[in-house]
Amino acid sequence: MTATRTDGRLERGRQTRRLVLGRTMEIASVEGLEGLSIGRVAAELGLSKSGVFALFGSKEELQLATVRAATAVYVEHVVRPAEETPAGLGRVCALIRNWLAYSRERVFPGGCFFFSSSVEFGAREGAVHDALAARRTEWTGYVRRTLEEARVLGGLHADTDVDQLAFELIALLETANVQSVLSRDDAGYDRAAAGMLARLRAAATDPQALPDTLAG
């Protein structure tokens, strides 16, 4: 009986945590991570402030938990589906399409969660800055590795500078996101897709192996 009660409390705690983090990701993507507070989230969700505090303990931990939750969402929408495509240029294209859809379709209502949060905390110090910096390093590294796999498999010229190519692709993705969020204009996604396709064709050993478009 005691074990059953304990399991029930743990499950209620997990459900509450998921509910809270679902809301904090929405808030943070629009207003920034500084827009989060335990009191605000508790009031909006009709929860007790003490109950939310017991789950997170501080505003900083709430922010960090939100970053971790957003990372899982990002992986689910951008990275994991791309890995269903075999390594090579096909996976590179899938990754680009997934990212464009992730931003265009507003998986997070404020556009790319990590772009906006990185701008917010870029010049700061502390655990939240470090967590965001680590996520960006991981993402950049993943794009680079995906391109390197394509190079090793013969899809890109042997002398391709994959670091430079990764930088350019990410820059175009983020520019499309910013234009869409600021101007309410999705034309940037098509322009970014065209720019990335041109860049990949220039580096590809067989440009004809690439699709006609990378836009969704």
Mark 92-102 as b/e (b = at least 16 C-beta within 10 Å): bbbbbbbbbbb
Beta-sheet strands, E only, within 96-171: none
Q: Using CA atoms of 18, 23, 26, 29 in order, give the dihedral in degrees to the nearest 10.
A: -80
Residue with tokens 């996604």: 189
Number of domains into which the chain is organized? 1
Condensed to tens digits (0 to 9), the pLDDT of residues 137-194 reads 999 999 999 999 999 999 999 999 999 999 999 999 999 999 999 999 899 999 999 9
Residue 171 lies in a domain: yes
pTM of the full structure: 0.92
Residues forming a β-bridge with 204: 156
Q: What is the CATH number of the domain that holds 95?
A: 1.10.357.10
For each of the chain's 216 residues, which pLDDT tens digit applies? Answer: 555 556 667 778 789 999 999 999 999 999 999 999 999 999 999 999 999 999 999 999 999 999 999 999 999 999 999 999 999 999 999 999 999 999 999 999 999 999 999 999 999 999 999 999 999 999 999 999 999 999 999 999 999 999 999 999 999 999 999 999 999 989 999 999 999 999 999 999 999 999 999 986
Category of 97 on φ-ψ map: left (φ > 0), alpha (ψ -120 to 50) or beta: alpha
Return all residues near 178 (Cβ < 8 A) that are at least 6 apart: 111, 115, 188
> Does residue 162 belong to any structural domain of this protein?
yes
Which has the closest alpha carbon to 28: 64, 53, 55? Answer: 64
Which domain does 143 fall in, by range? 2-209
Does residue 153 lie in a domain region?
Answer: yes
Instruction: Please give the backbone phi and psi of residue 98, each rounded to the nearest 5 degrees, phi first.
Output: -60, -45
Instruction: Give the gyration radius of the chain's Cα atoms.
Output: 20
pLDDT computed for residue 65 by the predictor: 97
Domain contains 8 = yes
Determine, yes or no, domain membership for 214: no
Distance from chain centroid for Cα 80: 12
The whole-number pLDDT of residue 7 equals 64
